[in-house]
Amino acid sequence: MGRRLSFGVDLGGTNVRIALGDDEGKILARLSEKTEIGMGPEGVSKQIMRMIRSIKVEGKRLGEIEGVGIGSAGPLDVKRGGLMEPTNIPYDFVPLVKPLEENLGLRTLLLNDCTSAVVAEKFFGAGKETQNLAYVTISTGIGGGIYVDDHLLIGKDGNAHEIGHFTIDFEGRLVCGCGKRGHWEAYCSGRNLPDYVKLILEEKEDEEIERSILAKIRRDERGRITARSLYNAARDGDGLAAEIVDKIGRLNAIGFACVNDAYDPSLITVGGSVTLNNAELVIEPIVQHLGEHCRNRVPEIKVTPLGDDVVLYGALAAVFHRDEL
């Protein structure tokens, strides 16, 4: 038997990325485009189909590919095979599975992007020998994927992993993008971290701020200090930036402790752009403070070895291992 091939799709509100890969985790070809959100609810599936058809591999026809795996930002409706009022795509329902299966003739599986990522870790990444495994992304948002006793958690709609909406601040000082207060994502995600930085700086004396690189950054960025600017300042040795990074790390540690106490993983792998661009500054305070909040035995924490392709790898693996999901 020759090598088995599948298509993997990483679907976000900003970009859609597609890869053709084999069952050993080798990506053979890939494409990336801006997500076509202005072409109606069917426009996204039509874009995916067009991109898939444009990927050619010598000696292989489309019908010989085993299937399509999609790892998508949610919320999902897995029973209907699509996205349900997605955050960054302006439609009530975006169909994915049925259009692809009917038009491509390929079996299609839909998973949350972070569920796809933990599948990647299980079959191609750091969790191959791990029965209890969690994946956490700290990126534009915060999300997770979970295995418990070798069982992948999916949920009634495909959304059993919205860990970014754990409440880590009962005072609810900041509002999450979902409209609720005090959520982990409202403080530590790439999109909302500037709001937390602003909150901290409001409690500081002007003189302390002016001694910091952050004063100039705040002026240059019209009052909004981004995650990139903050971590760069901390890396450059700015004391106030380092203090804020530690506060963010402490809140991340609370979120990780919630994951640990809810699911009891042996290993938590971490990805997402905020993590991958600032691995040491993100991971060290989590490891340092995690034990202060955990009831369960503290798990191993490591950055994903699959980098920013982790969702693509999981989408590929989901096709090959569909009977194990």
Residue range 166-175, pLDDT digits in tens:
999 999 999 9
pLDDT(258) > 90:
yes
Look at residue 171 in the predicted model and tell me its pLDDT.
94
pLDDT tens digit string along 80-122?
Answer: 999 998 877 889 999 999 999 999 999 999 999 999 999 999 9
**Residue 161: band (very low, low, confident or very high) from pLDDT cuts 50, 70, 90:** confident
Query: How far is it, in rounded angstroms, from Cα 34 to Cα 44?
Result: 10
Q: Is 4 within 8 Å of 23 (Cβ atoms)?
A: yes
Q: Is 302 within 8 Å of 276 (Cβ atoms)?
A: no
Higher pLDDT, 61 or 104: 104
Q: Can you give the length of the chain in residues?
A: 325
Mean pLDDT score of the chain: 94
Query: How far is it, in rounded angstroms, from Cα 255 to Cα 149?
Result: 21
**Residue 64: band (very low, low, confident or very high) from pLDDT cuts 50, 70, 90:** confident
Asked if the bond preceding 265 is cis, omega within 30° of 0, the reply is no
Q: How open is the CA angle 102-107-111, to the nearest 5 degrees?
A: 110
**What average pLDDT does this structure show over 22-49?**
94
Higher pLDDT, 221 or 268: 268
**What average pLDDT does this structure show over 238-264?**
97
Look at residue 58 in the predicted model and tell me its pLDDT.
65
Which domains can be identified in the chain, with CATH numbers? 5-121+309-324 (3.30.420.40), 129-304 (3.30.420.40)
Query: What are the structure tokens assigned to 259, written together?
Result: 């994951």
| Bridge partners, 94 (sequence order) | 83
**Residue 59: band (very low, low, confident or very high) from pLDDT cuts 50, 70, 90:** low
pLDDT(1) > 60:
no
**What average pLDDT does this structure show over 241-266?**
97
